[in-house]
Every structure is written in C-alpha cells, then in structure tokens.
C-alpha cells in the first residue's frame, strides 16, 4: 500500500480560484469590529483577505508546517493557533475575545473527513457566534439544508436548522482546489436565529436521541423504528392517530414540528 502524503493525511484540498475565494469572503461579510475564527487556513488564501477586512482573525491549523508559513507574513490582527480544532476549547477562545468585538463569525474550507464533527463544534458554540460559512462536500451540504420529503433529510438537518438559517450558497467544482477532490464541494452559510425554530435548547439532548431513533433505518416506518428502539407499539400508534398520521408514515416525510409533537406525546406516557 502506498504511503499517504501529508495532504492526504490531513485531508487538505487548497482552494486557489480567486473568484470563489471572493464569493466566500462576501458570504462571511467581515467587518472591522468582527472576530473571524478560521478553521484550517492552509496556505492563507482566505486568511489574509479576511484579515484585511476583519478586526481580528484567529486561524486554527493542525499542520505545523503550514503554521510556520502563515507566521512569516501575518499582520498584527491575525493570530495563528497550532492545534486540532476538535481539541481546541473554542468556547473559551471566543469568550476571551468577545468583549473586544461586535460580532463573531466562523469560516473554513473543511477537511471532508471531519465535516460532521465540525458541525457539532458549531453547535457547541452556537450561542457565542453570529454567522458561519463553511465549505463541505456537496452531499454533506445538501444534508444540512434538507427538509421533509428529501432522502437527505436527517436528525442533524433538524438540529442545525433549529438554531441557524442554513443556506447552500453555491457549488464549487474540483478544479478550484489543489489537489482537486474527487467530488463537488459547496459553500454553506449558517446565520444564528434569535430564537430556536422548532424546540427549546433545554430539550436538545433528549429530542436529538429521539430523532436518531426515528431515522434509525430509513426504509422502515416511523412506528417500526420507534418500536425497535424500545417504545410501546400501541402508544406510538395512538400518538400517530392523535396527530392524524398514517401508521405507515416514515420519519423523512414529517416536518420537525410533527416529530416534536410525537416526541411530546410519547414522553407524556413516561417512556
């Protein structure tokens, strides 16, 4: 088996097309009183233009060889942190700087293999930021913005859309990167809502576990999935009937509000 290169190990695909970089910067909307935290700055193609427009930029880079390159030419308002974003205490980092800025934004051309993990990082800091703009594999981006009736609609779609207005802004072809990935990419924006859209934050943990049970096996009905997760079949059927839903309905067909209503009905039974 051929030895993997450093780029392959870190999942690095450096964006070089200036037109696309400009579109991303416009999506981030950096202002002079903003803090922008960039995840995976790479060679700085996005980092330095952001620093030219934002008040402060903090870039978190795992590859130390790139950290050294970034440090050579960095302006005074750019801080480079050598570390793994999945291990960096991003909440504490943001809090330490929040008093100095009006708005906090996240940005990044993300390694595909940690995309889902980054989304949970985003959720952890949701109350401390105003906006995020990330590049994802197209399939992941479509899952983020998916709604009822789509095969890509999933528990994480609901969780993210509860706290953010999520928009797939534009697609990016492999040739815009070096080396080119094997799939198309997409730019997604996350604008934090003033209030959760579907459920209060206090219910997040238990409701998310319930959603995972609902979508456990997509080809099965909601009733079968919930029964397989330990819920009582008769009580599930009664909840569906009360909400005027067929027993053959699948989770992917239902709006988040309906899924939440089922959750509350079953919760009231003590399950």
pLDDT surpassing 50 at residue 2: no
Q: Examine the domain organization and report whether 162 and 215 are in the same domain.
A: no
Q: How confident is the model at residue 270 (pLDDT cuts 50, 70, 90)?
A: low
Q: Examine the domain organization and report whether 52 and 158 are in the same domain.
A: yes
Per-residue pLDDT at 99: 84
Q: What percent of the chain has pLDDT over 70?
A: 95
How many domains would you assign to the chain?
2
Mean of pLDDT values over 178-182: 93
Which residues of the chain form beta strands (DSSP E)?
Answer: 14-15, 34-39, 56-61, 78-82, 103-109, 131-137, 164-172, 177-178, 185-192
Q: Examine the domain organization and report whether 106 and 222 are in the same domain.
A: no
Q: How confident is the model at residue 6 (pLDDT cuts 50, 70, 90)?
A: very low
Round to whole Å and give the CA distance between 9 and 226.
39
Per-residue pLDDT at 100: 86
In whole numbers, what is the pLDDT of the chain averaged over residues?
Answer: 93
Mean of pLDDT values over 30-54: 96
Please report, for the domain that includes residue 234, its CATH number. Answer: 1.10.8.100
Q: Examine the domain organization and report whether 159 and 206 are in the same domain.
A: no
Is the peptide bond between 192 and the residue preceding it cis, with omega within 30 degrees of 0? no
Query: Does 1 map to a domain?
Result: no
Q: Examine the domain organization and report whether 258 and 136 are in the same domain.
A: no
Cβ atoms < 10 Å from Cβ of 169: 16
Mean of pLDDT values over 194-217: 97
What is the span of the domain harbouring residue 167?
Answer: 6-192
Round to whole Å and give the CA distance between 48 and 70.
9
Mean of pLDDT values over 73-98: 94
Domain boundary among 192, 223, 256: 192
Query: Does 63 map to a domain?
Result: yes
Q: Examine the domain organization and report whether 55 and 138 are in the same domain.
A: yes
> pTM here?
0.92
Q: Examine the domain organization and report whether 258 and 140 are in the same domain.
A: no
Q: Examine the domain organization and report whether 118 and 70 are in the same domain.
A: yes
* Pair 134, 188: CB distance under 8 Å: yes
Tell me the per-residue pLDDT of 228-269, one tens digit each, with 9 for 90 and over.
Answer: 999 999 999 999 999 999 999 999 999 999 999 999 999 987
């Amino acid at each position: 088996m051929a030895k993997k290169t450093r780029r392959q190990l870190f999942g690095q695909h450096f964006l070089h097309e200036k037109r696309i970089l400009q579109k991303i910067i416009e999506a981030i909307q950096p202002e002079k009183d903003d803090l922008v935290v960039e995840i995976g700055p790479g060679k700085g193609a996005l980092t330095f233009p952001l620093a030219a427009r934002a008040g402060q930029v903090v870039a978190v880079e795992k590859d130390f060889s790139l950290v050294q390159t970034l440090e050579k030419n960095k302006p005074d308002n750019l801080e480079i942190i050598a570390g793994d974003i999945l291990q960096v205490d991003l909440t504490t980092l943001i809090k330490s700087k929040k008093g100095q800025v009006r708005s906090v934004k996240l940005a990044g051309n993300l390694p595909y293999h940690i995309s889902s993990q980054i989304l949970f990082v985003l959720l952890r800091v949701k109350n401390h930021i105003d906006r995020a703009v990330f590049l994802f594999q197209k399939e992941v981006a479509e899952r983020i913005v998916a709604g009822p009736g789509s095969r890509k609609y999933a528990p994480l779609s609901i969780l993210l859309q509860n706290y953010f207005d999520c928009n797939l802004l534009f697609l990016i072809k492999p040739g815009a990167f070096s080396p080119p990935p094997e799939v198309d990419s997409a730019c997604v924006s996350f604008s934090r809502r003033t209030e959760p859209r579907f459920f209060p934050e206090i219910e997040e943990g238990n409701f998310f576990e319930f959603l995972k049970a609902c979508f456990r096996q997509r080809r099965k009905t909601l009733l079968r999935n919930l029964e397989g997760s330990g819920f009582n079949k008769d009580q599930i059927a009664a909840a569906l009937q009360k909400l005027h839903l067929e027993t053959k309905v699948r989770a992917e067909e239902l709006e988040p509000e309906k899924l939440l209503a089922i959750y509350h009905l079953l919760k009231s039974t003590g399950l």
